[in-house]
Amino acid sequence: MDDLDPNTPVLVGVGQAAERIDDPEYRGLSAVELAAVAVRAALTDTGADPAAVAARLDTVAGVRQFEISTPGAPAPLGKSDNYPRSVADRIGADPAHAILEVGGGQSSQHLVIELARAIADGTCRAAAVFGSEAISTARHLATADPRPDFTETRGGQLADRGYGLSGMVSRYSAAHGLTDAPTQYALFENARRARSGRSREQYAREMGEWFAPLSRIAAKNPYAAAPVERGADELATVTDRNRLIADPYPRFLVARDQVNQGAAVVLTSIAVARELGVPRAKWVFLHGHAELHEQQMLARPDLAEAPALVRAARHALEVAGIGAGELATIDLYSCFPISLSLIADGLGLRPDDPRGLTVTGGLPFFGGAGNNYSMHAIAETVARLRTTPGGYGFVGANGGTLSKYSAAVYSTVPAAWREDRSPQLQADLDTRPTVEVAIAANGPGTIETYTVKYGRRGPFGIVIGRLGDGRRFLATVDPADTDLLTTLTTGDPIGLPVYVRSSGKGNRVTATRDRMDQLHPVRVPAFRETYEFAEIRRDGRLLEVTINRPEARNALTPQANEELDEIFDAYFADPDLWVAILTGAGDRSFSAGNDLRYAASGKPMWIPENGFAGLTGRRAMTKPVIAAVNGFAMGGGFEIALACHLVVADETAQFALSEVRVGLVAGAGGLVRLPRAVPPKLATELILTGKRIPAAEAHRLGLVNRVVPAGTALAGARALAAEILTGSPTSVRASLQVMNETAAVTDVVDAVNHPSRALDDLMISEDMREGLLAFGAGRPPHWKNR
């Protein structure tokens, strides 16, 4: 050992803390206080003077609690604005560096590996890594009187690395109910069951067999949140207490997050450990480690496997120079059965392995302490290895949706720091093919995997499938489609044919097209007698549409967008209407775009497939639409105006893409249309600042066709419409079609020579013949619109 580099990293102290609300000693500790208890225990565990060890810490690193892991996450009792330094204050430390790691179950072990590497290269000398959760206490005391206040305004230096959610969350997945871990993992689990060829009953029993040994260990662990031993049958059988969460998971088979737990590790260099007088019997070395990540969920070629995670586990053993059979202790992350069984299968381990597959009792039984579970696994591994020196312990930490894996091998056997080849392995993994995703899916397909999640509103079916061209889609099952729900809950649906149809609320799936037409009939374009959020007026060939929400500055809710989409469907389908005008009620606002108050209310949000007002995402705008802007056109309102063919503006009108000022982006076309309408530098300025431009300037820039006196925007639009109506509607349609078809053709000659069906149809139209005859006869033409 004396010949090792003095900068060799060693784990010198570990500590854990926990309390249950039904314990006689329950104190209702905050997350900060639980972490402080764990760190104090780790400092004491070093066998040196705890105060001296604390004074030598130059780095403290915290694992994020759930309450700070997503934007807007609830913290009913308050929280610290600098969690790592709040904990450091309580142990008498004043480190130069404080780190708040990204979220994910891999984060605790990642920090240990990262700081061990920093110690090895000399940029760190001593560090404490910790995490904690007081979720059970927050829930228990949220309505207490008086209610404790855990708010701390600590301030100070903090390297906050963010939530780490990039690539983990998307509008597409959220629109289809993939917002929680059980649902996402259930999709993987059912794909894995189908791959195995097992029946539902066989697979449920197998999941119970994987987890029953974990519960036996948790039952003996004083830090466990649920120290109750359960057999395989009890775990697999659905009962009132063991209710289904998301098929195939009953409650006993998912991570338990209602916990009050904390864990900590202290790392130093060998040199610092000697200076502090840490006994050599306390030293534990990091022999092997690896960290790899998977592709985004829907891009993965095989939803039954996670090769990056298995490769990380194997590589950590390779770096350590041992095989899985040489391990004395093992802890595999067990938030759901697949996260454990997938790695166990990859390492050749079985549920009845006499060493056990956990040292704590696993996440459903010991407790899923937020992102910090694996810190407990490391602490327990270190403690066990010290009691039987010379053995090796493996900890595998999983984060995201089988997304990130951090694996490490520990031992009391002295070892120099060893680098892994994770970057090279990751580069190779990144070359794997991915699956193309169909955002708007339509037509026949097959079920690739599925789940049904259960909540207060009843069962909710989710399907991942493949279209005939191989593209993958997400879709939901209508609650009224009891036949398909029954198939998902009792049958073996993977590989079955289905029919999928897109909508503004996402893709919907049924067993057949006939069933789709029954539940979600294709809307036949037609006008209604009355509308709730809009008014229409027909004047010969002209349709006038007024957004009728003046009390909300004509801002649009999902329901208002749906009405306008329906109106414009009818307009474009009606051969007797040749021009449309869109305006806003009142004299203050054309439209403020998305109704932010509605959006902030938590009510369901969606946008029709054709976009804001049924226009910003519409592909076939084959007849002219004129925006009569009679006031502010802000955010989505400006985007609607940009989507219209022509704009007439009141001289008092103002335009702005103001989304950046409320934390949004102009995603309904503003980011695309404005840079194509004005010089890119100017468009960028307007987009990034949310700057308002008056009607006169908008006219100068070519964003507005005509500026008219205050209060006359609609009259001005009518005048422009009248001019259009003097021309052939067939020619107008053909002109718009050719302009659309050639918009992306950069070469002018190629654009001029572009073959268009519209021009061919015009040649044989009655309007072309009538126009030429009328011109020759010196009379006004009588357009036929055909």
Residues 505 and 554 in one domain: no
* Inside any domain, residue 59: yes
* Inside any domain, residue 713: yes
Per-residue pLDDT of 182-241, as tens digits, reads 999 999 999 999 999 999 999 999 999 999 999 999 999 999 999 999 999 999 999 999
What is the pLDDT, as a whole number, of residue 66?
Answer: 92
Indicate the average pLDDT of the chain: 94
Q: List, in sequence order, every beta strand (DSSP E) within 73-166.
A: 97-100, 126-134, 159-160
What is the pLDDT, as a whole number, of residue 776?
Answer: 85
3-state percent helix, strand, coil for the chain, nearest multiple of 5: 40, 20, 40
Which pTM does this prediction carry?
A: 0.91
Residues 477 and 549 in one domain: no
What is the C-alpha separation between 572 and 526, in angstroms, rounded? 10
What is the C-alpha separation between 123 and 261, in angstroms, rounded? 30
Residues 318 and 417 in one domain: yes
Residues 381 and 465 in one domain: no
- Out of 519, 549, 580, pick the residue that ends a domain: 519
Residues 513 and 593 in one domain: no
- Taking the mean position of all CA atoms in its chain, how far away is CA 223? 32
β-pairing, 249-250 vs 244-246, is antiparallel
Per-residue pLDDT of 595-629, as tens digits, reads 888 888 878 888 999 999 999 999 889 999 999 99
**Residue 323's CB: how many other CB atoms inside 10 A?**
13
CATH code: domain of residue 539: 3.90.226.10
- Write the single-letter amino acid at 245: I
* Inside any domain, residue 757: yes
Sign of the C-alpha dihedral computed for residues 478, 480, 484 and 487 taken in this order = positive
* Inside any domain, residue 229: no
Do the beta carbons of residue 445 and residue 499 sit within 8 Å? yes
Residues 389 and 461 in one domain: no
What is the C-alpha separation between 461 and 442, in angstroms, rounded? 18
Catalytically annotated residues: 639, 659
* Inside any domain, residue 278: yes
Residues 563 and 692 in one domain: yes
Residue whose C-alpha is closest to residue 214's, from 331, 345, 343: 331
- Per-residue pLDDT at 771 exceeds 80: no
CATH code: domain of residue 492: 2.40.50.840
What is the pLDDT, as a whole number, of residue 1?
Answer: 59
Write the CA distances from 503 to 477, 500, 520, 565, 616, integer angstroms: 13, 10, 10, 12, 15
**Range 544-559 average pLDDT:** 95
Task: Report which secondary-structure segment, H or E, holds 111.
Answer: helix 107-120
**Which residues, other chains included, contact 338 with Cβ-Cβ below 8 Å and sequence gap of 6+?**
185, 188, 189, 192, 402
- Per-residue pLDDT at 770 exceeds 90: no
Per the structure, the complete domain to which residue 740 belongs is given by 729-777
Count helices and strands (H / E) in the chain.
Answer: 27, 27
Q: Please report which residue ranges of 365-462 form alpha helices under DSSP H.
A: 373-387, 422-429
Residues 636 and 754 in one domain: no
What is the pLDDT, as a whole number, of residue 602?
Answer: 79
- Out of 519, 553, 586, pick the residue that ends a domain: 519
- Per-residue pLDDT at 745 exceeds 90: no
CATH code: domain of residue 392: 3.40.47.10
β-pairing, 472-477 vs 458-467, is antiparallel
* Inside any domain, residue 38: yes
Asked if residue 389 has a cis previous peptide bond (ω within 30° of 0), the answer is no
- Per-residue pLDDT at 315 exceeds 90: yes
Domain count, the chain: 4
DSSP symbols for 494-529: TT-EEEEE--TT--EEESSHHHHHHHSPPPPP---S
Do the beta carbons of residue 460 and residue 177 sit within 8 Å? yes
Q: Which residues pair with 80 in a beta bridge?
A: 152
Say which residue, 693 or 457, is predicted with more confidence: 693
Lowest mean pLDDT segment, chosen from 80-94, 265-279, 283-297, 588-602: 588-602
**Range 716-729 average pLDDT:** 93
- Per-residue pLDDT at 481 exceeds 90: yes
Do the beta carbons of residue 374 and residue 101 sit within 8 Å? no
What is the C-alpha separation between 469 and 319, in angstroms, rounded? 42
**Which residues, other chains included, contact 529 with Cβ-Cβ below 8 Å and sequence gap of 6+?**
none
Tokens (6 digits) for 785: 């619109």
Share of the chain above pLDDT 90, in %: 86
Reported as half-sphere exposure (CB side, CA atoms, 13 A), residue 609 has a value of 12
Residue whose C-alpha is closest to residue 45's, from 352, 293, 302, 281: 281
**Which residues, other chains included, contact 522 with Cβ-Cβ below 8 Å and sequence gap of 6+?**
none
Residues 451 and 578 in one domain: no
Calculate ∠ Cα 22-27-28, nearest 5°. Answer: 85
Per-residue pLDDT of 486-522, as tens digits, reads 999 999 999 999 999 999 999 999 999 999 999 999 9
* Inside any domain, residue 579: yes
Tokens (6 digits) for 563: 């009405």
Look up residue 170 and give its DSSP letter.
Answer: -
Residues 471 and 551 in one domain: no
Residue 221 DSSP SS3 = coil
Binned at pLDDT 50, 70 and 90, residue 785 comes out as confident
- Out of 396, 429, 462, pick the residue that ends a domain: 429
What is the pLDDT, as a whole number, of residue 765?
Answer: 77
* Inside any domain, residue 211: no
What is the C-alpha separation between 245 and 454, in angstroms, rounded? 5
Do the beta carbons of residue 63 and residue 101 sit within 8 Å? yes
Residues 557 and 646 in one domain: yes
Largest alpha-carbon pair distance within the chain? 110
Residues 625 and 501 in one domain: no
What is the C-alpha separation between 28 and 137, in angstroms, rounded? 6
Residue whose C-alpha is closest to residue 453's, from 254, 272, 746: 254
What is the C-alpha separation between 509 and 507, in angstroms, rounded? 7
Q: Which residues pair with 17 in a beta bridge?
A: 262
